A and B are shown apart, each in its own frame.
Chain A
């Protein structure tokens, strides 16, 4: 009797299950940017079809095949078991900062009335962008991000950090603004906060004089898209 390739089917079904889970739980937002979110439903659909079709395949499994299948299933187990988390201060200290990608679009963003972190980071990279930004000095802004601190950061200041992701978190670039005038010791590193205050661009950096800082839960969409 010919035996079905149950191992192939189980492996494809495990990956299909992971993609459906990512889609239904919205956990994809911890791994991908909104720009590439489409790969999740597409991947879920193709993997489901592939898993269903593989029932037709008849191929006995050897122990070596089982090892290969286990290697391929391993990431499914890892992603399902990993507690929900986004890149934080550890990654911010090791990755490059956002500096210039999509500059023109970001500088244009300054004119629509609300300054976002992406607009700010883009505008800081060119003389024209910095001039455009200087015109907004003293303007009230609201930014959301997590708290990071360097060894020399004063107690009543912190860096508000957010990652900008074009495709997946492997290409994440950080954007930071210095927040001054906060209550010392109130916000721990990696805590998510919403800061409202007055923006003061300083060359390629920016400072926000805090008027209000609220600790908030991690947003559903922790990364920004350029």
Chain B
């Protein structure tokens, strides 16, 4: 089977997403620029406070920052300057740390993506088998138990879950480090915090998708023609159930990447959420624009990836788009 056989669907999708990326980049950049400048308080003083800390921030420091960064020039000049740099794919340097923005984003985004990947893998390992089993045996013991656990885990705020895991796994059991990165296994605890909630949702979605497949005429036909439980599941069940699960997982992963702030802060994980919040407090406009841009692009890219994956999984989508 050649997944690229229905050709017209692919270029159209790629074109649409590329256009989205360009429009998005311009929109996010401009919006961030104006929002950061519309925030209350004096820009130079805020940047000075972010740079030098509350013990050293003074009017003299703020004046030095204003002179150094040319914050007195008109707003339109600053915006044009930024757009020009963006066109050359130069995101500038952080006003607070003085490092290139690209370097800072690569550092924080890399950590967040790594954390998210481990979390999604953990969630898939826990959620998918349970969900599929529950779907195949609806109203059974596993189905009821996963339902109860899912409700409990979804109701638990990540902040509390993180502290519970820290106390149990790291302090009492001594199995993993409490926080930080770069230690052996330091990604596991924050990833588990994110994964538990996600696994709970995933189990329910997989259960629903599986149940729909089991109740479909196709499943009945597969069984009628003499396929065993395992064969029917492998050849017909999983692929049919995969489309809603992949879509759900993709969207959840985007939320995970962009919403892991609480977990990142608690576990002192140098992720992108943390970077964004600091950029806002310190009025670090280049980092703010760069981070928002990276997050926006990631949203588009993830959507692209989900679309592609769904088209690979479901031939009807390819034909539908071509028609």
* Same assembly: no
